[in-house]
Amino acid sequence: MGYVDFKSHIIQLPASAEAVFHFVRDLNNFEKLMPEQVINWQSTESDCEFDIKGMAHIRLKKEEEIPHKSVLIHSGPDNPIELKIKAFIEEEAKNSSTAHIVLSANLSPILQMMASSPLQNLVNIMADRLKAVFNV
């Protein structure tokens, strides 16, 4: 087992780093970033849980935030896979910023082969949906 990182592409957002940070720091908003396979969503500002259709139940908790820069979310001890999701935000101009998402998963070599493509797709979907939130 070892951690494998999956990085989304960098997205340009027509919003300040502060606005993006306030959106991603509230885990109630993360449902808007999830793919259709995520069902039974429940959340508060600092934690969430959901099912991945036909696969697993996941619990995540906000672990760390650096105002206007990043938010780190970590899976609970009862998850089938240990996950860390970190949203990075960078101010570009007054109402312009960039962001990307990194998911780190503690995977066995076999799980790494099976899950690499879906996890890479997940972070890219999350980034694209974050972009859609601010490009209304």
Q: What is the 3-state secondary structure (H, E, C) of 12-76?
A: EECCCHHHHHHHHCCHHHHHHHCCCCEEEEEECCCEEEEEECCCEEEEEEEEEEECCCEEEEEEC
Q: What is the pLDDT confidence band of residue 114, given thresholds at 50, 70 and 90? A: confident
Q: What is the pLDDT confidence band of residue 73, given thresholds at 50, 70 and 90? A: very high
The yes-or-no verdict on residue 46 having pLDDT over 80 is yes
Q: Is 123 helix (H, G, I), strand (E, B) or coil?
A: helix
Q: Output the average pLDDT for the chain.
A: 94
The yes-or-no verdict on residue 111 having pLDDT over 90 is no
Tally of CB atoms within 10 A around 14:
14
Here the CATH number for the domain that contains residue 66 is 3.30.530.20
Q: How far is C-alpha 104 from the geometric centre of its chain's CA atoms?
A: 10
103: containing domain: 2-134
**Number of domain units in the chain:** 1
For Cα atoms 100, 43, 72, give the angle at the middle one, nearest 5 degrees: 35
The segment with the largest mean pLDDT, out of 43-47, 74-78, 79-83, 111-115, is 43-47
Question: pLDDT over 90 for what percent of the chain?
Answer: 76
